[in-house]
Chains A and B, each alone.
Chain A
Amino acid sequence: MTATKKLNLKQKYQYLTRDMDWEPSYQKKSDIFPLEEFEGIKIIDWDGWEDPFRLTMDSYWKYQAEKEKKLYAIFDAFAQNNGHQNISDARYVNSLKLFLSGVSPLEYAAFQGYAKVGRQFSGAGARVACQMQAIDELRHSQTQQHAMSHYNKHFNGLHDAPLMHDRVWFLSVPKSFFDDARSAGPFEFLTAISFSFEYVLTNLLFVPFMSGAAYNGDMATVTFGFSAQSDEARHMTLGLEIIKFLLEQHEDNVPIVQQWIDKWFWRGFRLLSLVSMMMDYMLPNKVMSWKEAWEVYYEQSGGALFKDLERYGIRPPKYQDVANAAKEHISHQLWSTFYQYGQATNFHTWMPKKEELDWLAEKYPDSFNKYYRPRFEHWDELQKKNQRYYNPTLPQLCQVCQVPVLFTETDDPSSISHRDTVYKEDRYHFCSEACCEIFGNEPEKYVQAWLPVHQIYQGNCGGPELPGVLSDYYHINLGEDNLEFSGSPDEKRWNEMKGIKPSKKDDAA
């Protein structure tokens, strides 16, 4: 103790997470925390829980307030200076539409998830960490919506993101990912979101996305992204600590955690295939390819991580090699899919320009020219003849990840990697061995999947014709939000904006 009796970091953290907690005297602990045991995880001593950042409430509010002040100062400046006019190209805004309807609602789902598990642990350290993270996630969801509300004034497709998240076919991919995690027990939720998603994979979402925003002149997005990401560093640390804590508590936890890591690595990898196409195709100014990002943020960082975890008897995720090999293909396969279903998306799609094709060929020397360039040139030709290709049928969806069954076999990029299985007399279809295996481990959970294509066919999404589903059930403004970028109202407005070179008279206020 110093003369001023100022507590150091460790002491302050000790007070918050241990000394303010108490042992119940007239209620059983298992009644207060009823979800702590059913997953089979054994906790011997919650005192082993250590948050390395040792953040206390006073510092938490202080730093978060400072982050918010900085952030909103930039939002104001961005709006007052018509910042949207400084982006590289209007095509860029489509990545924001994908983000706002695909990712921001996940931040909200994360808030709900952490608020829930933040009540469920009998260890006060874990409760405090989860509650702080719940507040962070709510902040992220809000700041993202605030940042993008400026774009909503000038571009189409941003008007109803939460509803679209709940209903639009491809948005069931991110939605069902989080629903899967939130409906699991509290320890699986933390392994899924804090460890597998936040620690292992989230860099691939935020870091290239925000660097991409910076490269495309979008200061508002860069700022909210990095502001959110500064919380992420804390969340990631938490994710790693949770795993180490579970593994150190009891050896029986090891196989349970391993199976969760296998599952959630794969679920996250499939979810991030949406990000792969965003990076390679939706950013007019490219930062790095998906393949490069995967190599740095998964192969290199994940490699170091799993080497570190070896001492606990944990091995790298089971289907890691399939994911590593797929880095050559998934972005091209996803963009092909969204291009052909561009009539049913809340953002525009387009064919890459010649320089972009060359960039892709350079970044993907082993796959692009052989498998993907010919198809893009084919579609480009059709477009020049005014016969832009749209696929009028509905696709088969994977029962687990809900992505259309579009991925190819590791050893044969020309064959779709379809799998199926029969459970209680019904057949189920999958995009991969890994998704099929996840189903096999918990079939009762996944038979309940709300698969958008099947729901349309059951008549639960309006219609019966597709345009009715898109406009009335998905709230997509047909001819404005969807279809090809060239000739879209977004493009026209952008051309006017850039042609006029406004004298910023709107900024007078």
Chain B
Amino acid sequence: MSQLVFIAFQDNENARYLVEAISEDNPQAEVQYQPAMIRIQAEKRLVITRETMEEKLNRDWDVQEMLLDVISIGGNVDEDDDHFILSWN
């Protein structure tokens, strides 16, 4: 059985950069556009990287800023200053 992790964001200006960064760091991820929200799923693991986000935004970015736009997640969370990782064992 496949084990998908997912994250959903509000479909707003911030989300555009998050989606770009996530797609770049997780080429296997599938992006689904739904009314007012964007859902991204991937097999077993999905990572958001601070460095990639900072490149996209061209400014400093705190990983916890994603708390403003996230709607839902599925998977075990691991967060530090540089990454936000969702995974299933």
Contact = CB atoms under 8 A, between A and B. Distances in A.
Chains A and B belong together in one complex: yes
Interface of A: 8-10, 52-55, 59, 63, 66-67, 70, 203, 206-207, 210-215, 222, 226, 229-230, 232-234, 236-237, 240, 244, 287, 300-301, 303-305, 307-308, 311
Interface in B46-89: 63-65, 67-81, 88-89
A303 B81 contact: no
A9 B63 CA distance: 10
B65 to A, nearest CB: 8
B80 A236 contact: no
- Contact residues of A: prevailing secondary structure: helix
A470 B3 CA distance: 49
A9 B81 contact: yes
A222 B64 contact: no
A230 B73 contact: no
B4 A300 contact: yes
B3 A308 contact: yes
A53 B8 CA distance: 16
Contacts of B10: 226, 230
Contacts of A244: 76
Most buried by B among A67, A229, A304, A307: A304
A230 B1 CA distance: 29
A229 B81 contact: no
A67 B69 CA distance: 9
Given A53-B67, A300-B4, 16 more contacts: A8-B80, A53-B79, A54-B79, A63-B68, A210-B36, A211-B36, A215-B35, A222-B36, A229-B71, A230-B67, A301-B74, A304-B2, A304-B5, A305-B74, A305-B88, A308-B89
A211 B67 contact: no
B18 to A, nearest CB: 13
A17 to B, nearest CB: 15
Contacts of A215: 35
12 contacts: A10-B80, A55-B64, A59-B64, A70-B68, A207-B8, A211-B35, A215-B35, A229-B72, A232-B72, A301-B74, A304-B4, A304-B75
A240 B72 contact: no
Contacts of B3: 303-304, 307-308
Contacts of B67: 53, 55, 63, 230, 233-234
Interface string B6-21: 1010100000000000
B36 A237 contact: no
A10 B3 CA distance: 28
| For the complex of A and B, 7 pairs with smallest distance between CB atoms | A214-B36, A52-B77, A214-B35, A304-B3, A211-B35, A229-B71, A233-B70
B37 interface: yes
Residue among B67, B73, B76, B81 with most chain A CB within 10 A = B67
Contact of B78 (A52, A59, A304): A52
A9 B72 contact: no
A44 to B, nearest CB: 21
Contacts of B1: 303-304, 307
Contacts of B88: 304-305, 307-308
Contacts of A9: 63-64, 79-81
A230 B88 CA distance: 21
Contacts of B34: 211, 287
A207 B71 contact: yes
A207 B37 contact: yes
Contacts of B89: 308, 311
Given A214-B36, A304-B74, A308-B3, A8 B81 contact: yes
A234 B74 CA distance: 11
A129 to B, nearest CB: 13
A66 B74 contact: no
A15 to B, nearest CB: 15
Contact of B73 (A8, A63, A236): A236
Contact of B6 (A67, A234, A301, A303): A301
Contact of B72 (A203, A212, A213, A214): A203
Contacts of B78: 52
A89 to B, nearest CB: 16
A240 B73 CA distance: 11
A10 B77 CA distance: 14
Nearest to A10: B80
B70 A230 contact: yes
A226 B37 contact: yes
Nearest to B85: A52
Contacts of B72: 203, 206-207, 229, 232-233, 236
A233 B4 contact: no
A2 to B, nearest CB: 11
A233 B73 contact: yes
B37 to A, nearest CB: 6
Given A55-B64, A67-B68, A230-B69, A308 B36 contact: no
A499 to B, nearest CB: 28
B19 to A, nearest CB: 16
From B2, B34, B35, B63, residue with most partner A Cβ within 10 Å? B35
Contacts of B6: 301
B70 A240 contact: no
Nearest to A311: B89
B49 to A, nearest CB: 15
Contacts of A63: 64-65, 67-68
A464 B52 CA distance: 68
A360 B21 CA distance: 38
B61 to A, nearest CB: 14
